[in-house]
Structure 1
């Protein structure tokens, strides 16, 4: 049996690209933020160190987006962060920069027609659907 791998079309050149809803993006952010609050409690909590959850969020984004193209919240809401130009991962450096820009909040509110916030455009990223592979026997 021969299988033919199809190469995904990069979002920048895909005329049918439709970004996920803002609700799914916001849901992913809420899940990630709750995780960051829980993790930052190991450092004394937000009351003692108000920047701890923000720092954890930036590091979470750098690690998970850079290596896996999804944060835990994105996994749950079935979205992922890809490179706009080629559809691949954005890598650790761009993921770190994206996390810093996202922490500033305002860049995320300035979106284009593909729902790419300023933080996405500056890092060459886009949020896209993350289809799950079919399970064996399904």
Structure 2
């Protein structure tokens, strides 16, 4: 008498059939997979620390200079993403910002992404594909290098 066996699926070993970025055609892990929350957060902390250090160097750090620090942060985000496809913090933790449709990230995407990032609330809202709202609106995704 033959025993019945369950059909094996590619994700049977991992127990996962969905992962962030699958809808976008990104791999589950490795290069070009969607950046994890930990890497994203660490990159953000590095970027904010750099902006704070620059604000301190300019003498604008403190209660009165909070918006100056935010402005420095925004300028660094836009410049680094446009030039290096990632902010200084992203580069340090091995991430890069790429357009969903491929190609060069351009200038308008970093501007839109950064304005929404500075508002903070869109960062906390995630689209169905796993991207935060500021990435979804800008048409970008943060992936591993």
- Establish whether TM, by shorter chain, passes 0.5: yes
CA–CA distance in structure 2, aligned partners of residues 129 and 83 of structure 1: 13
**Cα offset, 1:12, TM superposition:** 7.0
**Cα offset, 1:15, TM superposition:** 5.2
User: CA-to-partner distance for each residue in 1:21-62, whole Å, 9 max, x for gaps?
Assistant: 100000000000000001112152132322011111111111
Alignment equivalent of 2:77, drawn from 47, 61, 85: 61
Corresponding position: 1:16 with 2:16: no
Which structure shows the higher helix fraction?
A: 1
Corresponding position: 1:82 with 2:98: yes
Instruction: Give the structure-1-normalised TM-score.
Output: 0.78
CA–CA distance in structure 2, aligned partners of residues 89 and 12 of structure 1: 21
Structure 2 residues without counterparts, runs of 5 or longer:
1-21
Is the 1:46–1:52 Cα contact (8 Å) retained in structure 2? no
Is the 2:77–2:110 Cα contact (8 Å) retained in structure 1? yes
Moved over 4 A (4+): none
CA–CA distance in structure 2, aligned partners of residues 47 and 89 of structure 1: 38
**What does 1:67-106 correspond to in 2, within 5 Å?**
67-86=83-102, 88-106=103-121
Instruction: Give the structure-2-normalised TM-score.
Output: 0.74
Larger radius of gyration: 2
Is the 1:37–1:46 Cα contact (8 Å) retained in structure 2? no
Structure 1 residues without counterparts, runs of 5 or longer:
1-10, 131-138
